[in-house]
């Protein structure tokens, strides 16, 4: 069986690797749009933007791996159409590539600012690829050489985890940072008020001008951005703008091929799309979770769902059950998240120290999720409880003297 995988990121590499581990002996083609080998994306807004890591250190596998595993790595190739009737991919250069089974691991795509508000000006960036970060870094270094001797001025639009990570990296590089969030608080879509309050203070303490409930009206500049007018009427001088207003599923290829797409490529519990010869995994998918469907943007989900897809392709029939986990590094704070806080009605705070709290989300008596800052024990305890389908006594959680290991006893 000839298997083509479109999307050479974490999910695509994991799927190809798992296929070989499951003894698939047919051809495997891993196809990516970027002209470089597959690499990790999470460090882009952290160590790579800081300059602490080289690009080579981000590679998911050494170059020799693909030859050793007989995986045809096709980089710099854009698939423009899926001919489902003839089971053939069409590329932008007019060539084609046949398949017996196709896997879509196309990931997500960054939302951008409209051109009419200045989104097309030079100096305005999203933060999705290594190329994005290389261009941001070049601009940031340039701002450090301003003739007036002042710090370079960075505006970050969006107060989610990516925006906050970019803010931390920019401050570490000695830049002047303003972050705006049009919602009433940072992390409003993904975390409780307690977690937001912790990170708000963290960024204030590091000198970020953080403005909540403030959006962008438009950017100012002719060719290159030089300022911004905000929704409250204020204006800023700006050298660089980083847009971190979220991502969407990269599902256009699937949609144009007639596959069912609803907030991502719709797959069943075995990672099959509406075409039984096409599978999908990772950020681009919408999959069953309990009584509903969800789409997750995480490394953990990309790996696990890709491996489940490989199992289905090779004849297994095990349903994929997500065990969500995430993380974020900002300054000296490492946030680890287990579970999903959807539908929570209260948050219990456990104060290990002022720099290592954890926030536990409940719906009624059910434990849904935990946000743990600099506290690996709280994270692991919460993660195990959630995965076992168990809850915990909120009073015990709130007591910093209570040993969390006791919560795991039968």
Whichever domain contains 176, its CATH number is 3.50.50.60
Residue with tokens 């993380």: 327
Strand segments (E) across 54-181? 71-74, 79-83, 88-91, 96-98, 101-104, 108-110, 124-126, 153-157, 176-181
Same domain, 352 and 251: no
Alpha-carbon distance of 338 to 327, in angstroms, equals: 9
Do residues 263 and 185 share a domain? no
CATH number at residue 362: 3.30.390.30
Q: Domain check: are 154 and 220 in the same one?
A: yes
Is residue 44 included in any domain, yes or no? yes
Q: Which residues of the chain have pLDDT under 50?
A: 144-145, 147
User: Is 319 inside a domain boundary?
Assistant: no
Number of residues that this document lists for the chain: 410
Other C-beta atoms closer than 10 Å to the C-beta of 204 total: 11
Q: CA 325, CA 144: separation in Å to the nearest integer?
A: 37
Q: Are residues 104 and 123 in the same domain?
A: no
User: What domain range is 363 assigned to?
Assistant: 332-408
Supply the pLDDT for residue 144: 46
User: Do residues 334 and 285 touch, judged by C-beta distance below 8 A?
Assistant: no
| Domains identified in the chain, total number | 3
- For residues 132 and 174, state if they share a domain: yes
Tell me, yes or no, whether 338 and 271 share the same domain: no
b/e code 316-329 from CB counts within 10 Å (16+ = b): eeeebebebbbbbb
In a domain, 207, yes or no: yes
Residues 312, 322: contact at Cβ < 8 Å? no
Pairing of strands 357-363, 346-351: antiparallel
Using a 10 angstrom Cβ sphere, with 0-12 exposed, 13-18 middle and 19 or more buried, the burial of residue 383 is: buried
Hey, what are 26's tokens? 């047919």
Residue with tokens 């991919």: 89
**C-alpha radius of gyration, the chain, whole number:** 22
Both 129 and 196 in one domain: the answer is yes
Q: What are phi and psi of 74, to 5 degrees?
A: -110, 100
């Amino acid at each position: 069986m000839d298997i083509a995988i479109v999307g050479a990121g974490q999910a695509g590499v994991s799927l190809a690797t798992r296929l070989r581990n499951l003894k698939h002996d047919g051809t495997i083609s891993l196809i990516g749009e970027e002209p470089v080998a597959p690499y990790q994306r999470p460090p882009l807004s952290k160590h790579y933007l800081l300059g602490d890591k080289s690009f080579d250190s981000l590679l998911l596998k050494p170059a020799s791996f693909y030859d050793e595993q007989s995986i045809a790595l096709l980089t710099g190739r854009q698939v423009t159409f899926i001919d489902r009737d003839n089971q053939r991919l069409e590329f932008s250069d007019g060539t084609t590539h046949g398949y017996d089974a196709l896997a879509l691991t196309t990931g997500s795509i960054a939302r951008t600012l409209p051109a009419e508000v200045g989104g097309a000006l030079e100096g305005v960036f999203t933060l999705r690829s290594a190329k994005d970060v290389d261009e941001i870094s070049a601009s940031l270094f340039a701002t450090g050489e301003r003739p007036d001797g002042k710090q370079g001025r960075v505006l970050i639009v969006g107060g989610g985890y990516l925006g906050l990570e970019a803010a931390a990296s920019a401050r570490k590089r000695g830049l002047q940072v303003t972050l705006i969030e049009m919602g009433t608080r940072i992390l409003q879509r993904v975390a409780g008020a307690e977690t937001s309050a912790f990170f708000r203070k963290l960024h204030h303490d590091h000198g970020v001008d953080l403005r909540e409930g403030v959006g962008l009206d438009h950017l100012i500049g002719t060719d290159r951005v030089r300022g911004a007018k905000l929704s409250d009427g204020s204006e800023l001088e700006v050298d660089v703008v980083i847009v971190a207003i979220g991502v969407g599923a990269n599902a256009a290829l699937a949609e144009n091929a007639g596959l069912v797409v609803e907030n991502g490529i719709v797959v069943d519990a075995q990672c099959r799309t509406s075409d039984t010869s096409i599978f999908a995994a990772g950020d681009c998918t919408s999959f069953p979770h309990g009584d509903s469907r969800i789409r997750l943007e995480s490394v953990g989900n990309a790996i696990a769902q890709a491996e489940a897809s490989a199992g289905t392709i090779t004849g297994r029939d095990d349903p994929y059950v997500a065990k969500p986990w995430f993380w974020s590094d900002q300054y000296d704070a490492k946030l680890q998240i287990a579970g999903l806080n959807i539908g929570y009605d209260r948050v219990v705070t456990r104060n290990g120290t002022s720099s290592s709290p954890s926030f536990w989300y409940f719906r009624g008596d059910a434990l849904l999720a935990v946000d743990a800052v600099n506290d690996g024990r709280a994270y692991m305890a919460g993660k195990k409880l959630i995965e076992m389908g168990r809850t915990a006594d909120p009073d015990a959680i709130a007591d910093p003297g209570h040993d969390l290991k006791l919560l795991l006893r039968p």
